[in-house]
Structure 1
Amino acid sequence: MADEGETLLNRKNKYSRSVSHAQDELQSFRSWLRWMCVDQSNPWTTCLSWLVFVVMAIVVPCLSHFVLACSDCDTKHSRPYDSVVQLSLSTIATLSFLCLSRFVSKYGLRRFLFFDKLWDESGTVRNCYTQQLNRSLQILFIFVLPCFAAEIAYKIWWYASGASGIPFLGNALVSDTVACILELCSWLYRTVVFFLVCVLFRLICYLQILRLQDFAQVFQVESDVESVLREHLRIRRHLQIISHRYRVFILWALIFITASQFASLLLTTKADAEVNIYKAGELALCSMSLLAGILIILRSATRITHKAQSVTSLAAKWHVCATIDSFDTVESETPMAPQVDRNLVFPLSTDGSSDCEDGGDEEDDLDNTTLIPAYTYSTISFQKRQALVTYFENNRTGITIYGFMLDRGSLHTIFGIELSLVLWLLGKTIASV
């Protein structure tokens, strides 16, 4: 007993501490943040982070557009959509950097990633969340590197194939090389900062999904209504915290990305616009990057909302199974007239579930079609179970933006608004030709 209490105390101290040390579980993640120049753990790294941000997100894009742009190039080397590309990337990078700086300075990296709350979670949740943290940067670069490779190819072609540069270093070749490297670093920095905030949101949502899957186990074992209610209130509180922290970023990211796509469509559908891979290739890469980032946000939000709302159906199924079990117990004690075998009318598989093999990876403990064995649930009264189900039905939770729930219905709404804007703009453009 003493060993178990000591183990629990050590686990609590490990995950609830605020001061980092060289061997903590966030060491590799912090090293990546330092390499990406977004670490703000001390005054020196904070100043460096802001300096790199100003240079890469503001100074270099302005120089690229106003100084390094080729005004007298041929048709292949002109960049008519460069203003939209630079403004879109710099705007979304500024929003991401400001939000990330606020998150780290106000909450700290450990508290922001909910590592201070892991001490009372199960071992499965802690291990899976730590593994997902280590995979987060891999996911980030899976999205960034393909677009960055295409951007490298485009910039090298643009500078190497005869686009005139400004020899600000005295030599045109050296000047073009330095300018190309600066533009590529600026593009990579702005894209990485945006995707970093998106991937961190996905990571935090993944923790809540793990907790909800762990929470579903309470309906498989003997438990009381009070403990179930307390755990659900705790999960709901954490979802409210995530929504409150990220609502500004999600809302303004949607606005900026919508405005960027709207401006891109407006420019590319003009009567005198020339759209080809040489002119609009960089614009397409920018649009793909922004849309991929916002899709990570929306998919993570809708997924956690769906899982959170699946608790209602799980609790209702638990209540039905317990009620049936209670009635079967009463009927077994009282002699009854012979009845028709229900299995002859509604045949079941041998394990009590129907077509469970067809569910595949889409089913889990929160969303499945298997019956819950109710051999111990009759100890909980019908009124308590009904009250718990009523609570779940009237307290749906998930990721919200100022009260607007981000679920599958909201995705349909956002898609409808975006499609309406596109069709309206296309109609105006075609009608004016």
Structure 2
Amino acid sequence: MANENNSLPLINKKRAYARSASHAYDELQSFRSYLRWMCVDQSNGWTATLSWFVFIIFTFIIPGFSHFYLACSDCDNRHARPYDSLVQLSLSCIATLSFVSLSQFVRIYGLKRFLFFDKLCDESETVRKGYTAQLNRSLKILSIFVTPCFAAESAYKIWWYTSGATAIPFLGDVIVSDTVACVLELGSWLYRTIVFFLVCVLFRLICCLQILRLQDFALVFQVDSDVESVLREHLRIRRHLKIISHRYRVFILFALIIVTVSQFTALLDTTRHTAELSIFKTGELALVSVSLLAGLMILLRSATRITHKAQGVTCLAAKWHVCATIDNFESPEVADTETPPVGVVSTSVFPCEASSSDCEDVGSEEDELDNTKLIPAYAYSTISFQKRQALVTYFENNRAGITLFGIMLDRTTLHTIVTIELSLVLWLLGKTIGIS
């Protein structure tokens, strides 16, 4: 029976998915196990209670205990932690935002519906396989971001405790007390960082699905499709992008505010004339700043990629319209008709293909939806000029993408945000560890 359940696919075209339609052996098994291991699974009352209990301990109690009880006011100058309050507040605020958002997503929509697995039954095999592959990569991407930061934080905490920074025997023995305190602090730091990056990686995963759908949607211009089917599919994609924007807009906005306020506060503290700066005092602050900025960049880059792909579809539709129009005018067999019949092949349109050297020069830099290659196969379309023009006009005036309360997150927006945030972080790094 276990083997039979193990072979059941989550994606079934003949099934309609509901909030509770799930089993233990689908593609989300690893994610469910990870959520339970991180104590953020809220699928039932017991796991929800445990999740909130762990969240309160690692986000508020342990950081507060570390800051007020292990502040080490009698430490030497190297072991002083003047910026610990800012570090703890920044991590706790972003972890609270991430945990509350994730809890709301899972509680309201369920994991499958939140990750759009219930919509995959209407997608092509290419999209389903590509999305499953991205799902399997998500935890690896999460570890790539978290592991280096945790290694640096572990090295700092171990040095801080082993070098005699504190000697408060709250468990009766100094060594045992320091070991327990170090482990709890590292666990709190790891928990808060993982929760933040987990929400960011989940957003990236959802964006990857929409990118796969846009790439699959672009193939409709290579076949003899009708305008109605193309328009319906584009409207469906736009509707899903609006759903994603609506679900994540509060998280993205408050994450941007928290990161920006944290950077400004760090700059104000480190640029005071009385500030004492060294890697021992401000290294942890720099590490937290880099971690917050990395998570924010995951969010913004994922949203920007979707917007860029959607604009590439508009360019593709315009190119399709041009190719079909030129073919109609230059095909001698159909010179007296508005559109060529199916099967008429024109050899006079775009007879030359790009050379291999040209492809080598720009192939790695062009987007697959927005390239300079002419596609004569588009000229076989039997759609009239007026319908093609109306479709292109619709694409040009109905831009799809991720929006933030009406603001399109495109490359211009990303460049502006990155310039501001990166300037703050580089200034902070220059003031803390000497990077200029």
From 219, 225, 228, give the equivalent of 2:227. 225
SS at match of 1:12: coil
Could you tell me how far 1:414 is from its partner in structure 2?
2.3
Matches of 2:24 and 2:393 in 1, distance apart?
Answer: 48
- Does structure 2 conserve the Cα–Cα contact (< 8 Å) formed by 1:298 and 1:411? yes
Matches of 2:10 and 2:135 in 1, distance apart?
Answer: 24
Distance 1:41 1:422, change over 3 A: closer
Matches of 1:15 and 1:70 in 2, distance apart?
Answer: 59
Matches of 1:309 and 1:285 in 2, distance apart?
Answer: 36
Structure 1 residue 367 corresponds to structure 2 residue 347: no
Distance 1:318 1:67, change over 3 A: same
Please list the CA deviations of residues 376-421 of structure 1 after superposition, one character each: whole Å capped at 9, or x if unmatched: 5441100000000000010011100100111111123324555788
* 2:252 aligned residue: 250
* 2:13 aligned residue: 12
Matches of 1:136 and 1:331 in 2, distance apart?
Answer: 54
Structure 1 residue 86 corresponds to structure 2 residue 88: yes
- 259-268 vs 358-367, greater mean Cα deviation: 358-367
Distance 1:420 1:190, change over 3 A: closer
Could you tell me how far 1:231 is from its partner in structure 2?
0.3
- Does structure 2 conserve the Cα–Cα contact (< 8 Å) formed by 1:95 and 1:249? yes
Could you tell me how far 1:206 is from its partner in structure 2?
0.4
Matches of 1:311 and 1:100 in 2, distance apart?
Answer: 32
Matches of 1:36 and 1:140 in 2, distance apart?
Answer: 13
- Does structure 2 conserve the Cα–Cα contact (< 8 Å) formed by 1:208 and 1:304? yes
Matches of 1:399 and 1:423 in 2, distance apart?
Answer: 28
* 1:142 aligned residue: 144
* 2:396 aligned residue: 393
Matches of 1:9 and 1:175 in 2, distance apart?
Answer: 48
SS at match of 1:396: coil
What letter matches 2:300 in structure 1?
L
* 1:167 aligned residue: 169
Structure 1 residue 191 corresponds to structure 2 residue 232: no
* 2:72 aligned residue: 70
Please list the CA deviations of residues 291-349 of structure 1 after superposition, one character each: whole Å capped at 9, or x if unmatched: 00000001001111111111111100000000011111247758xxxxxxxxxxx9985
Could you tell me how far 1:355 is from its partner in structure 2?
2.3
| Alignment TM-score, normalising by the size of structure 1 | 0.89
- Does structure 1 conserve the Cα–Cα contact (< 8 Å) formed by 2:204 and 2:298? yes
Distance 1:188 1:14, change over 3 A: farther
SS at match of 2:183: helix
Structure 1 residue 22 corresponds to structure 2 residue 24: yes
Matches of 2:11 and 2:285 in 1, distance apart?
Answer: 52
From 122, 127, 130, give the equivalent of 1:128. 130
- Does structure 2 conserve the Cα–Cα contact (< 8 Å) formed by 1:325 and 1:375? no
* 2:417 aligned residue: 414
Moved over 6 A (4+): 419-425
Query: RMSD over aligned Cα, in angstroms?
Result: 2.5
Q: What is the number of equivalent residue pairs in this alignment?
A: 408
* 1:180 aligned residue: 182
Structure 1 residue 383 corresponds to structure 2 residue 395: no
- Does structure 2 conserve the Cα–Cα contact (< 8 Å) formed by 1:16 and 1:119? no
From 203, 209, 218, give the equivalent of 2:205. 203
